[in-house]
Amino acid sequence: MKLTVHVNGASYTREIEPRLLLIHFLRDELRLTGSHWGCDTSNCGACVVWLDETPVKSCTVLAAMADGHRVRTVEGLAHNGELDPVQQGFAQCHGLQCGFCTPGMMLTARWLLDRNPDPSAAEIREALSGQTCRCTGYENIVRSVIWASKHSASKPSVSKPSASGPTPSGPSASKHSASKHSASGHGTRGRPSAGDDDAAPGVPG
């Protein structure tokens, strides 16, 4: 099948097998290797990317479901050569060791801060509860997100849906299809959320 996906502001059209997972499409077809492939079972969150405005675990999303949609990966976090405050926060507060979990952590953190600019530590932990770090005790990850929340003045403009942007199409275009694979805002580690995509973090759906 042929699909067109809008990734970090650029459009890509490819012929793919219908069974191809989004994580493999991003890494193997587009060579965007910032998104990592870990457990492959929707548990670790290393593969988190945004599908439209929702963080999803791309190891459990078919690439075909992204047809006509926008995808944002860690490569799309920086803006005009300036790191996103979340990226700066992870650097400032030593929020990573090996870095395997970091791209997914940062994308979920950005999602959280876009909706809750001044989250509590508990809210940050809840938002990241579906993602596993094998290295740290999470303390510095939480500090990194708090750092980012306190440095919003240097925050680059965040990509939002635009009237001229790609229009979701096809049966996979519903908000519900994305929310079933949401990586954030759920209280059960690694499990898809059935909640509202825009629900405040810390309030399981």
The nearest distance, CB 79 to ligand FES, in angstroms, is 24
Q: Which CB atom, from 100 or from 155, has the smaller least distance to ligand FES?
A: 100
Q: Which CB atom, from 141 or from 146, has the smaller least distance to ligand FES?
A: 141
Q: Which residue do the tokens 């965040």 mark?
A: 158
Q: Which CB atom, from 5 or from 47, has the smaller least distance to ligand FES?
A: 47
The nearest distance, CB 98 to ligand FES, in angstroms, is 3
Q: Which CB atom, from 40 or from 75, has the smaller least distance to ligand FES?
A: 40
The nearest distance, CB 165 to ligand FES, in angstroms, is 26
The nearest distance, CB 75 to ligand FES, in angstroms, is 17
Q: Which CB atom, from 46 or from 64, has the smaller least distance to ligand FES?
A: 46
Q: Which two tokens stand for residue 26?
A: 């991003």
CA 2 vs. chain centroid, Å, equals 24
User: SS in 3 state form for the chain?
Assistant: CEEEEEECCEEEEEECCCCCEHHHHHHHHCCCCCCCCCCCCCCCCCCEEEECCEEEEHHHCEHHHHCCCEEECHHHCCECCECCHHHHHHHHCCCCCCCCCHHHHHHHHHHHHHHCCCCCHHHHHHHCCCCCCCCCCCHHHHHHHHHHHHCHHHCCCCCCCCCCCCCCCCHHHCHHHHHCCECCCCCCCCCCCCCCCCCCCCCCC
Q: Which CB atom, from 68 or from 99, has the smaller least distance to ligand FES?
A: 99
The nearest distance, CB 93 to ligand FES, in angstroms, is 13
The nearest distance, CB 100 to ligand FES, in angstroms, is 4
Chain residues that interact with ligand FES, rule: CB under 6 A: 37-40, 42-47, 57, 59, 96-102, 133-136
